[in-house]
Each structure stands twice: as structure tokens, then as C-alpha cells.
Amino acid sequence: MNSNNEQPTIDYQALAELRYQIRRFLRFSEQVARAEGIEPQQYQLLLALKGLPTDRKPTVRELAERLQLQHNSTVELINRLAEHKLVERHRDDSDQRQVIVTLTTHGEEILQRQARYHQAELATIGPMLLQALETILAHNQDALNRDSRSQEDKG
């Protein structure tokens, strides 16, 4: 915080621009998922499953955490994907209480197509996203530097 209990200034324009660029990308993501015949959250689960760090098991709990969903919502999502033969479930060999989720070949194919669309879109809007984020970070760093100088002047 600044001297005299002043709040740091907020770059509303940069925050709004970042939010706008994120929302544009999310809208794109929703549209291409639906064009593929899947719901956006289904794509997100497929991506979370494939992109899970190698030291993590693809359990319902882990996927729920990655998607920031409740356990029961994640189970419903997995059920719908399993009905469409995009994922399979089986018991963990080392802990039969845990359900492991894996991609099917069909799920891999859909995910790969979707990921290509997303990468191409990020190549287009990525620089705008990055610029908006860099503007916010630079603004925050400037505010921190001003606060540090102000504290040094007092000392």
C-alpha cells in the first residue's frame, strides 16, 4: 500500500482489455467445441485429462480440481463423455476406491482437432492477450516501485 493509506491506482482500461481478450478466446472455444458436437466443458475435461502433469493420476477428484467443478458435476461430465465413447473409466490398480479416467482413440482424435483450432486462434489473438497482461504487470510494477521509493524517502 502507498503512503498516507492511498490505494494503488488501477488501470481499468488494461483490466478491461485483458478480460475482453479472454472472453473472445472463450467464445471461440465454445463455438468450435459445439461445432464438433461436444459441449465446451467436455472439451475442457478432455484437455485437462491429456494435459495432466505426469505425476498426477487422472482421477475424478483431480479432474474436478483442474476444472474447478464439484465432484458430482465432474462425474456427470465424465458420464456424458463415456456415453459418446470419448473416455473410459476403470478402477485404479493400486487403490480400488479410485476411478481412473482415460481418453479413448475417438476422444484423442476430437481433442487433437480441437487443440489445433485453439492453437491457431491463440496464434492470432495471443499477442493481444499478452500485450494486455504485460500492460497490467508493468502498471503493477510501476506502483510497487513508486511505493518502495516513497518508503525509502521516509526512512
List pLDDT tens digits, range 40-68: 999 999 999 999 999 999 999 999 999 99
1 domain residue, yes or no: no
* Nearest-angstrom CA–CA distance, 149 and 125: 36
86 domain residue, yes or no: yes
How high is the pLDDT of residue 148? 60
Q: What is the reported pTM?
A: 0.82
Q: How far apart, in Å, are the Cα atoms of 48 and each of 17, 26, 59, 129?
A: 26, 16, 11, 21
Question: In the block, which residue shows the cell 494486455?
Answer: 132
How high is the pLDDT of residue 1? 46
> Could you give the number of structural domains in the chain?
1
Q: Which domain holds residue 99?
A: 12-150
2 domain residue, yes or no: no
Residue 74 pairs with which residues in a beta bridge? none
The answer to whether the CB of 90 falls within 8 A of the CB of 100 is: yes
50: which residues sit within 8 A by CB, 6+ positions away?
A: 103, 108, 111
How high is the pLDDT of residue 154? 64
155 domain residue, yes or no: no
Phi, psi of 97, rounded to the nearest 5 degrees: -75, -25
Q: Is 78 exposed, middle or buried (0-12, 13-18, 19+ CB in 10 A)?
A: buried
3 domain residue, yes or no: no
CATH number at residue 121: 1.10.10.10
Low-confidence ranges of the chain (pLDDT < 70): 1-8, 142-155
